[in-house]
Amino acid sequence: MRVSVLVYLFYYILVSGATKNRTCWLEASGDFRDEIAKHIKQSAKLIYIDFALPGHPPDMLDIVCKHVNNPYRWIRTTSRHGRSLLMLDENYKYMSLSTLTIGVESMFINLTDHPARCLRGKDEEEVLKIIRESFLGELVAPDVSSMSPLGNDDHICNMQVLEDHGHALFRYRCCRKHQDGDITCEDMQKDEWVQFLLALIIIIKVLVILWSPMFLPETLYREKYVAAPYIFHVPGPALSLKIVVTQKPDQFGVKNTQKRIRLSDLRNMQTFKTMIANTRWEHDRVYEVKVPDIRLSVKSRRLLGQNNVPITIFKLFYNSLIRCRIRHLELFQHAKPTETVK
């Protein structure tokens, strides 16, 4: 019995040591390479790759990779345009930069480590190295991936959490694999052009908010065809009108035909209609009404605002040159044609 236990322990130690020394890599289940090739064929500049590790605790990478933000999300970029998006803030799509999301794709895959559970017991640097090399090898066995290296502009990136005098800095670290098999990495930092772009966006937003009414043509927001009230104050003494309400207008003679107004024509004169409908207003009797103010209902486009100039310099040039109204000016009307001397 003791011999069998010792043999089992020796076999376990031997297998564990061999597994620890063997190359560990991740392999994707399904047609990962075909899906990546499909996105690249559709001119994808940046691909978000979220993955899971079946057979391992769901928070294993979160516990091991303490200096990585969301270790279950890695990014593949295929051009400088894709890497430049990593320099922007995560909310760039809400900062009037939604057009930059064209060519950004996302996908989800399940990964399996080979040999089985070889990721367990490794530290953060070893786990990140295995994941990075596996993605650079397109998640296939090392002997297969060596035959199809990625392009020169293809990078695999993840977000690192760096410490800076007690503050956390979140920066993407992008790595690429050269033809000779060497892997080089660099941290993506905002350059002066990205800072200038973000500052320009903020300035444009402030201008749009403060002066947006000035940027719109007046024809888009002014109600030109809506009737607006206009009060005309009669200068001097009040205007005197003689009014008579009757059901027999012929008794006042033919000369007053043009002065007749039907009550149905006074649709918008509610004050006047209320006045003559009063029970104290007798029919066939002439009343003299004093009118100090005249309320007119006119189109809004015919009213001139207090802060509007009736004619501008551009309109003057347009009417004079484009519409040829310059010939109607008094200066040209009285000009005499010159006589040629023979």
Q: Check pLDDT > 70 for residue 335.
A: no
Q: Which two tokens stand for residue 68?
A: 């990585």
Whole-structure pTM value: 0.55
- Placement of tokens 């939604």 in the chain: 98
Q: Check pLDDT > 80 for residue 330.
A: no
Q: How confident is the model at residue 220 (pLDDT cuts 50, 70, 90)?
A: low
Phi and psi dihedrals of 317, rounded to 5? Answer: -65, -35
264-300 pLDDT, tens digit per residue, is 777 777 777 887 777 677 888 888 888 888 877 777 6
Most confident of 16-25, 142-151, 304-313: 304-313
Please give the residue that has the higher pLDDT: either 212 or 207: 207
Separation CA 129–CA 219 (nearest Å) = 63
Weakest-pLDDT range from 17-31, 148-162, 190-204 = 17-31
Please give the residue that has the higher pLDDT: either 47 or 92: 47
Q: How confident is the model at residue 95 (pLDDT cuts 50, 70, 90)?
A: low
- Placement of tokens 């399996």 in the chain: 112
At 91, which amino acid appears? N
Q: How confident is the model at residue 156 (pLDDT cuts 50, 70, 90)?
A: very high
The three-class DSSP label of residue 294 is strand
The three-class DSSP label of residue 286 is strand
Please state whether beta strands 183-187 and 293-299 pair in parallel, antiparallel, or not at all (unpaired).
unpaired
CB atoms within 10 A of CB 175: 18
The three-class DSSP label of residue 183 is strand
Q: Check pLDDT > 70 for residue 41.
A: yes
Angstrom distances, CA of residue 67 to CA of 91, 162, 166, 300 = 22, 7, 14, 66
Cα 319-323-329 angle, rounded to 5 deg: 60
Residue 273, Ramachandran bin (φ over 0: left; ψ between -120 and 50: alpha; else beta) = alpha
Q: Which secondary-structure segment (H or E) carries 287?
A: strand 286-291
- Placement of tokens 């005098």 in the chain: 165
Task: Specify the pLDDT at position 3.
Answer: 44
